[in-house]
Amino acid sequence: MFITFEGGDGTGKSSHATRVVEWLRGLGHEVVQTREPGGTELGQQLRNIVLHGPDDLSDRAEALIFAADRAHHIQSLVRPALERGAIVVQDRYLDSSIVYQGRGRGLGAQQIRDLSIWAADGLMPDLTVLLDLKPEIAMQRMRTGRGRLDRLESLGLEFHLNVREQFLKLAREEPERIHVVDADRPERLVSDEIRGLVEAKLEELQQA
Ligand code: TYD
């Protein structure tokens, strides 16, 4: 089973991913926790370029770096894990590219979707958890939680308002796969809801 977490910056994806991973491991499953960009050694280098690289990095170059990271990551880490029966829990995947590069940067959602699917050789998540939170609150959390913002985080409120809208639009387009979880609630409630979604999907896959 391949689970991805999506949502704007500062919505709590990585902490909720970690909670799900710990819970699944407790049930005895082999779980691989990973992320994009940067889930591999090469990916770490690409992550550094794309998040802290030159100010004049073009939007198309940015999109291709995310795609290169994805191609390598899926082929070298994610697919082998899925093939041996592990559950993969991943922070961000192709929906981030569609939203940030396709719609945020205006490169075209369909083109970026096609590029991502080509890069990943067709691999789609079984379940995508979309953590939804007002960017005003998310950005506040980021400022208090960490230091310097990266290239994408520092794009300003309007960009991030659009990112949120576009994620919600994707969820309406693919309601079977993408589940919206309201992240503006106590962590406990959010993680209980996520757990329920994962449990339901596990059962569904076991019956299939
Ligand atoms: P992430 O690792 O989630 O950031 P952090 O750990 O700092 O919260 O993602 C880094 C940034 O990369 C984030 O702003 C979203 C962006 N991104 C894209 O623009 N396109 C993509 O395809 C991916 C995977 C991430």
Q: Ligand 1 centroid to 52 CA: how many Å?
A: 12
Looking at residue 147, its pLDDT comes to 67
Quick one: CA dihedral 83, 89, 91, 94, positive or negative?
A: positive
Q: Whose CA is nearest to atom 8 of ligand 1?
A: 9
Q: Ligand 1 centroid to 136 CA: how many Å?
A: 18
Q: Indicate the burial class of 26 (C-beta count within 10 angstroms; 0-12, 13-18, 19 or more).
A: exposed
Considering the domain 2-207, what is its CATH architecture? 3-Layer(aba) Sandwich (3.40)
Q: Whose CA is nearest to atom 5 of ligand 1?
A: 9
**Ligand 1 proximal residues by C-beta, below 6 Å:** 9, 35-37, 51, 66, 91-92, 96-97, 100-101, 152-153
Q: Ligand 1 centroid to 37 CA: how many Å?
A: 6
Amino acid at position 141, single letter: R
Q: Ligand 1 centroid to 207 CA: how many Å?
A: 34
- Per-residue pLDDT of 158-199, as tens digits, reads 999 999 999 999 999 999 999 999 999 999 999 999 999 999
Determine the average pLDDT of the residues in 14-32. 98
- Per-residue pLDDT of 45-69, as tens digits, reads 999 999 998 999 999 999 999 999 9
Residues, the chain: 208
For residue 126, what are its two tokens? 């079984």
Q: Ligand 1 centroid to 45 CA: how many Å?
A: 14
Amino acid at position 144, single letter: T
Determine the average pLDDT of the residues in 67-87. 98
Percent helix, percent strand, percent coil in the chain, to nearest 5: 60, 15, 25
- With a CB cutoff of 8 Å and minimum separation 6, the contacts of 68 are 46, 119
Number of H helices, E strands in the chain: 9, 5
Q: Whose CA is nearest to atom 17 of ligand 1?
A: 96
Q: Ligand 1 centroid to 98 CA: how many Å?
A: 12
Q: Which long-range CB contacts under 8 A does 101-108 form with residues at least 24 apart?
A: 101/59, 101/62, 101/63, 101/66, 103/162, 103/163, 103/166, 104/155, 104/159, 104/162, 104/163, 104/166, 105/59, 105/62, 105/63, 106/59, 107/59, 107/60, 107/63
Q: Ligand 1 centroid to 36 CA: how many Å?
A: 7
- With a CB cutoff of 8 Å and minimum separation 6, the contacts of 62 are 50, 101, 105
- Per-residue pLDDT of 114-131, as tens digits, reads 999 999 999 999 999 999
Mutation to probe ligand 1, out of 18, 152, 167 (largest number of atoms < 8 A from CB): 152
Return the ligand 1 atom nearest residue 92 CA.
24
- 155-169 residues labelled b (16+ CB within 10 A) or e (exposed): beeebbebbbebbee
Amino acid at position 59, single letter: D
Model pTM score: 0.95
